[in-house]
Structure 1
Amino acid sequence: MTTLTIDGFRYQRLPGAGGVELNVAVGGSGPAVVLLHGFPQTHYMWREVAQLLADRHTVVVPDLRGYGESGKPAEDGADTYSKRTMGQDVVAVAGALGHERFGLVGHDRGALVGVRAALDHPEAVQYLGILDVLPTLDTWGVLHGVDAKVAWHLYLMAQPAGLPERMIRAVADDFFASFLDAWDADGSTLTAQVRQHYVDSSVAAVDSIVADYRASAGIDLEMDREDRAAGRTLGMPVGVISQDWGSQLGFDASALWRAWAPDVTYEPIDAGHYMAEQRPDEIVRFIRGLAARVVG
């Protein structure tokens, strides 16, 4: 398997929720910011952003549970890969490094973990940055009819355990590579080495990746519904930077986010889904602006 590390960062294995060990890269000094990766990636997607942020921040970059070099516990219940559990991982890792309060920025799957961590642990998350995703509840709400074909993998991995894992394992290289090819269509963002790293890491994690997605069609959705019914929102500064998915699928992404976060800024970006790798300078600017909104 092709393993890649962020130059200048030190690596540790730190305990998350239930003792599951996470592979964590740490660099820089100053106020802490935790960066969470998306699918089908690893912490390595943040390499350039992390190095740029490290001049002013302690940058903590874990592989999510079930991904990369982190632990991949068997799915022994709905909560094993719930975003609540994965959010607890983040808080535990930050705490083990001495950071009781920190900024949190996530892309794609990592952003969903970030939202849940911020809802559950507002005392710990100082600000929340979200790259190119909608909240779980709203994701399912905006997918209708034939337009939902863009999210076909969500429906496949939402099925009961067994069949989706077997189907994906049968063509795992092609399955994961298809997303890299679709979201980096001209091959200008990911080098061949980075692309292979993501494919290899994902092929080794089929069961846990499917469990992560299955949770978002089950327990994560239930949690979002409970929060919406209770009127629970994100009280810290929140920033969203995203492609304009709404014009394609007929929804107002900024309005959806405002319902979850009264203190939100929404910023469209002329970039692809892998924007942290395509436009690292813009993402660093976005994160620094969000951190500057923290008072005290």
Structure 2
Amino acid sequence: MTTLAIEGFEYRTLPAAPGVDLHAAVGGSGPAVVLLHGFPQTHYMWRQVAQQLAGRHTVIVPDLRGYGRSSKPATLDPDTYSKRTMAQDIVEIAKALGFNRFGLIGHDRGALVGVRAALDHPEAIAYLGILDVLPTLDTWAVLRGVDAKVAWHLYLMAQPAGLPEKMITAVAPEFFGSFLDAWDPDGATFTPEIREHYIESSVQAVDSIVADYRATATIDLAMDEADRAAGRQLTMPVAVISQDWGSQLGFDAASLWRAWAPDLTYQPIQAGHFMAEEKPTEIATFITGLAARHA
């Protein structure tokens, strides 16, 4: 695997659960903020943002369970890759570094982990930042008709274990590379080395990545449905920065998020899905603004 490191950061192997360790970059000093990556990436997507935040924060940047150089446990039951389990991982590694409370920023898959962490552990999450995703419950609700083809991979990886893994493994470099290309239409966000790193990392994690996505169509959805029925909400300051997917799929993202987060700031951005790498200064400013609301 092509190994890339965030310059100036120390790398740690942190205990998350019995038999599960997360590979994480740690740098800076001050109040802690944890940055969670999306698909099909690793912690390295945060490199430029993390360096900008390190002047005023202790920045913790892990590979999620099942991704990058973190543990990839076999899927013994639906909870192995539930967002509840993955969120508990993040709370545990922060504690291992001495932080019982921290800011949490997530992109894509990492944002779904962040939402679950904030719902399950409100005492630990000082503020929550979300990059370019909807909550699980709302994602499935807005995908209708032919426009849902933009999320075809969600349906593929939601299928029962076996066939999706075999299909993806057969063309794994092309499968993962297709998202890097489709969601970066200008082709200017990734160097060849970075693109190779993301593809190689994902190719070695097919089973766990599929398990992560399958959980979103099953156990994670059930958890969101239970929370909605119980009226549970995010109690901390929440900020969302996103492309305007709603104009294509016919929904109001700000309204959907506000149903979960009464203390919400919603900010559109003119950028592609990989906005932390395309516009790192804007994303760092977004995060520091959110952190200042909590200060």
Q: Distance in 2 between matches of 1:146 and 1:18?
A: 43
Shift of 1:184: 1.2
Question: Which residues in structure 2 correspond to 1:37-56 (within 5 Å)?
Answer: 37-56=37-56
In structure 1, what is the equivalent of residue 277 of structure 2?
277
CA shift, 1:185, in A, is 1.9
Given the two structures, how large is their TM-score scaled by the length of structure 2? 0.99
In the other structure, the counterpart of 1:250 is: 250
Q: By how many angstroms is 1:157 displaced?
A: 0.1
Percent identical across equivalent pairs? Answer: 77
Residue 3 of structure 1, CA deviation: 1.1
CA shift for structure 1 position 19: 3.7
Match of 2:197 in 1: 197
Contact 1:17 1:85 in 2 (8 A): no
Structure 2 unaligned residues grouped into runs of 5+: none
Equivalent residue, structure 2, for 1:26: 26
Report the equivalent of 1:70. 70
Partner of 2:182: 182
Instruction: Verify the 8 A CA contact 1:29 1:59 in the aligned structure 2.
Output: yes
CA distances 1:120-165 after superposition (whole Å, capped 9, x unpaired): 0000000000000000000000000101100000000000000000
**Which stretches in structure 1 are left out of the alignment for 5+ residues?**
none
Letter of the structure 2 residue corresponding to residue 50 of structure 1: A
User: Hey, what does 1:35 align to over in structure 2?
Assistant: 35
TM-score (norm. length: structure 1): 0.99
* Secondary structure at the counterpart of residue 234 of structure 1: coil
Deviations 1:40-90 (A, max 9, x none): 000000000000000000000000000000000000100000000000000
Deviations 1:93-133 (A, max 9, x none): 00000000000000000000000000000000000000000
Structure 2 Cα separation of the partners of residues 19 and 129 of structure 1: 29
Amino acid at match of 1:276: A
**Alignment-mate amino acid for residue 116 of structure 1:** R
SS of alignment partner, residue 161 of structure 2: coil
Please list the CA deviations of residues 174-205 of structure 1 after superposition, one character each: whole Å capped at 9, or x if unmatched: 00000001011221111111000000000000
What letter is aligned with 1:147?
Answer: D
Q: 8 Å contact 1:17–1:86 — kept in the other structure?
A: no
Q: Is the 8 A contact 1:118 1:234 kept in 2?
A: yes
1:9 CA drift (Å): 0.4
Q: How many residues align?
A: 295
Q: Which amino acid aligns with 2:40?
A: P
Question: Residues 1-296 of structure 1: matches in 2 within 5 Å?
Answer: 1-295=1-295
Q: Give structure 1 regions of 4+ aligned residues with deviation exceeding 3 angstroms.
A: none
1:259-287 per-residue CA deviation (whole Å, 9 max, x = no partner) reads 00000100000000000000001001100
Amino acid at match of 1:232: R
Quick one: which amino acid aligns to residue 81 of structure 1? Y
| Alignment partners' CA distance in 1, 2:161 and 2:293 | 43
